[in-house]
Structure 1
Amino acid sequence: MVRRGLLLESGPQRRLALGGFINQLGTAAFLATAPLYALRVIGLPIEQVGLGLGVAGVVGLLAGPPVGHLADRRGPHGVFLVTLLIQAVAMVSLLFAHSFVAFTAAVAVTDLAGASGGAARGPMIRRFGGDEVPRFRSYLRSAAFLASTFGALAAGAVIQLDSGSAYRALILANALTFVGCAAVMLRLPRLEPLPAATASDRWLALRDKPYLAFVVLDGILWIQGEVVTYALPLWVVLHTHAPRWFTGVALAVNTVMVVVLQVRTSRGIKGGRGAGRATRRAGLAFLVGMAVIAMASDLPGWAAVAIMTAGVAVHTVGSLWHAAGSMELRFRLAPAHAQGQYSGVFGIGMGLCYTVAPALLGLLCLGWGAPGWLVMGGVFVAAGLAMPVVVRWAGQSRELGV
């Protein structure tokens, strides 16, 4: 992958990265403000807000495999553009939602189209990434992290204003980001579908036991992303003497490290064995980082800040290794002609991880305290150690370079 400075060389890779940045910018801002919009503007009770968002999330998980298969057979470019336009329309419709049913329907369609778009985008990442998919995907992750940071800042400004007009303006802006992403994607070369091996390949990913095992283990490991964004802020406020502003510092450390180091970390992680070893190292790093964070509960404020900063840094190193290994295996384990279908199944694992993460981290890390951090770290270690075994299992039926 050729770069000029911090930017990709002009071409399909740069357009795909730019489109992803625009998309994530609006999505991050919307996700941070959607519950408040439902509460403050629509006037729904908190129970209905949670239920509506939960239903929408479950609906979104179901779309990936069938739409991914459609992208494999019809070509991913057109399918991805349609999902972006559907999301734009669904966002605009949210402005006219005045009931629980209307709110849930608008968010469910958005999540459905978003999951579908992720499945359709997978084949484009694989084919435009060529021989450097792990590095290219790492670049995409860095760009997405940067976009999420800017989106969170925008959401913070809207939350500070806390007015109906501000929330509506953000929703409209999010709709425009989908249109902007589609405008960038229009300039991508069209990819012709690859021929399927047999007519029975429609549900191939769901019958692929090694890949499903990978999705389960990888989904467990992706819970690590919620440690810094969800568990740590609550841990700081409820269980330590550290100042509350440290939560912003921790997020900044995590974001800067990912943006600056993700591409560099992905170098050399090629093939199933390399990805499996990286994932194994990641699990161990998560345990060390979480153990260090757990030590802060009984320390003075300044010492808690120092030790948790170190813990966040170690945890982020683990997330860099995990992301690089995950993206290598996500594409390497999937047949070239079924990348969309496999991306859809991969998305289910990611979606379930983000659904389960708050409750699991709340139960262990926040409810149990320091021992819970160690237990959660042990879960990450176990998943990391099991990943090379799954890679070897998969290598018995496909060419992985293991």
Structure 2
Amino acid sequence: MPNAQEQHVSQTGTLSPDTPSPDAPSPDAPSHRKSHAPDRRPWLVRRGLLLEPGPRRRLALGGFVNQLGTAAFLATAPLYALRVIGLPIGQVGLGLGIAGLVGLLAGPPVGHLADRRGPRGVFLASLLVQAAAMLSLLFAHSFVAFVLSVAVTDLAGASGGAARGPMIRRFGGDEVPRFRSYLRSTAFLASTFGALAAGVVIQLDSGSAYRALIVANALTFLGCAAVVRGVPALEPLPAPTASNRWIALRDRPYLAFVVLDGILWIQGEVVTYALPLWVVLHTQAPRWFTGVALAVNTVMVVVLQVRTSRGVSGGRVAARATRRAGLAFLVGMAVIATAAGLPGWAAAAVMAAGVAVHTAGALWHAAGSLELRFRLAPAHAQGQYSGVFGLGMGLCYTVAPGLLGLLCLGWGGPGWLVMGGVFVAAGLAMPLVVRWAGKSRELAA
């Protein structure tokens, strides 16, 4: 006779926010070695810098290759449209905006397809479509062709993200937050290298250089597919007979989590978008400080994200981490706001401290967010829920530049405090949403 936890999972397919995960250990989870046995694993594996051989390592390597090309392309796409295709700046912005919105719509339906047909095949198909769509940019000579190429690329990218979620959840086993944190660290590292490659292409500023980068990005999609092809196929999990096809869109507690979490993810644009403009327009700090701030943010995430995720297991712990993150965002942004009017070096020192505090909040938020993203979703519908999660993040990233521009850059110091207050409010509300989710799942059971 199954125990209470097994009955709860079998009936609802959803873990309560603080129920230990019933997933079997990951196929590549490290075995428990006796303390007296010599550890013959490579040094990088022992230090946690490289995962054990198996599905997790393949997913991490594939993600690194994919993000490497994507980051380089995103930094150069507007210039390619301007310099090579010859579009006016207004059409470039409009085309990228349309493509981004189209891409957001793919997440839930493709995630549902991944739940019912198996995530690996859907993910591989999305990578092949991305490669073809990227190469089609080489033949785009009009606004319509540019929008179609980029829209299909974004559509396939969102589809791949929704299909990748179930693989992360199931291969992550009991260590999903730590595994997802490792993936985030490697993605940050890949983005850094991609940005460096984009810098070289921008410096060359030639049509051949931009085209070469597009071809290289298409190859990264194929490289990612070649790596992920070695990941074992996952059979779809049976859904409860009473399960609604679009369960994620009817799950009000999860939708509330997505809204609050999406608001908190705007914090990523504070360092990459608002801060550089703040440095140039409102402070006397040297302009090269923007690069220092990005370096501080990147190094902290790469080095500390996995460590920060340790112990962040269960809905209540993750909600507390999110609440702590909101407070850190307020403190960090208040410190950054005080840099206006200070002498150059003093302004740089103050903002460096503010960026460090803000990044600490980002580490706590990511650890809590990555735990709740999978914890609150039914096991049989991870793809559909991943699509909804991606939809929420995408919409918030879409409004982030305008919101940060209005508050932080338009209002100045008070605007930074208002934005920090928004983060605090979202963080304080997260424990309430997690408790609501727990009660709704208990009633469903």
TM-score range, shorter chain: over 0.9
Structure 2: how far apart are the matches of 1:261 and 1:140? 12
Structure 2: how far apart are the matches of 1:349 and 1:326? 13
Where in structure 2 are there 5+ consecutive unaligned residues? 1-28, 31-44
Report the residue type matching 2:46 in the other structure: R
Spell out the pairing of 1:177-256 with structure 2 (5 A cutoff): 177-198=220-241, 200-256=243-299
1:151 matches 2:194: yes
Match of 1:368 among 411, 422, 427: 411
Match of 1:118 among 146, 157, 161: 161
Match of 2:134 among 85, 91, 99: 91
How far the C-alpha of 1:202 sits from its partner, in A, is: 1.4
How big is each residue's C-alpha offset from its partner over 1:131-178, in whole Å with a ceiling of 9 and x where there is no partner?
Answer: 000000000000000000000001111111111111001111000000
1:4 matches 2:38: no
Match of 1:279 among 311, 322, 326: 322
1:13 matches 2:41: no
1:345 matches 2:388: yes
Spell out the pairing of 1:55-134 with structure 2 (5 A cutoff): 55-134=98-177
Match of 2:305 in 1: 262
Structure 1: how far apart are the matches of 2:82 and 2:72? 16
How big is each residue's C-alpha offset from its partner over 1:54-81, in whole Å with a ceiling of 9 and x where there is no partner?
Answer: 1001100100000000000000000000
1:49 matches 2:95: no
Structure 2: how far apart are the matches of 1:393 and 1:146? 36
How big is each residue's C-alpha offset from its partner over 1:332-363, in whole Å with a ceiling of 9 and x where there is no partner?
Answer: 00000000000000000110111011111011
How big is each residue's C-alpha offset from its partner over 1:311-347, in whole Å with a ceiling of 9 and x where there is no partner?
Answer: 0000000000000000000000000000000000000
Spell out the pairing of 1:248-327 with structure 2 (5 A cutoff): 248-327=291-370
How big is each residue's C-alpha offset from its partner over 1:184-209, in whole Å with a ceiling of 9 and x where there is no partner?
Answer: 00100000000011264310000000
How big is each residue's C-alpha offset from its partner over 1:103-129, in whole Å with a ceiling of 9 and x where there is no partner?
Answer: 000000000000000000000000000
1:176 matches 2:219: yes
TM-score with structure 1 length normalisation? Answer: 0.98
How big is each residue's C-alpha offset from its partner over 1:246-294, in whole Å with a ceiling of 9 and x where there is no partner?
Answer: 0000000000000000000000100000000000000000000000000
Runs of 4+ with >4 A deviation? none
Report the residue type matching 2:286 in the other structure: P
Structure 1: how far apart are the matches of 2:198 and 2:396? 24
SS at match of 1:396: helix
* Number of aligned residues: 400
Report the residue type matching 1:172 in the other structure: V
Report the residue type matching 2:302 in the other structure: V
Structure 1: how far apart are the matches of 2:88 and 2:218? 25
How far the C-alpha of 1:397 sits from its partner, in A, is: 2.4
Moved more, 52-61 or 197-206: 197-206
Spell out the pairing of 1:372-391 with structure 2 (5 A cutoff): 372-391=415-434
The structure with the largest helix share of the pair is 1
Match of 2:400 among 357, 373, 381: 357
TM-score with structure 2 length normalisation? Answer: 0.89
In terms of Rg, which structure is larger? 2
How far the C-alpha of 1:4 sits from its partner, in A, is: 2.9
SS at match of 1:198: coil
Report the residue type matching 2:441 in the other structure: R
Report the residue type matching 1:351 in the other structure: G
Report the residue type matching 1:94 in the other structure: L
Q: RMSD value over aligned CA atoms?
A: 1.0
Report the residue type matching 2:266 in the other structure: I
Report the residue type matching 1:310 in the other structure: A
Task: Quote the sequence identity (%).
Answer: 87
Report the residue type matching 1:47 in the other structure: G
Where in structure 1 are there 5+ consecutive unaligned residues? none
How far the C-alpha of 1:19 sits from its partner, in A, is: 0.3
Report the residue type matching 1:279 in the other structure: T
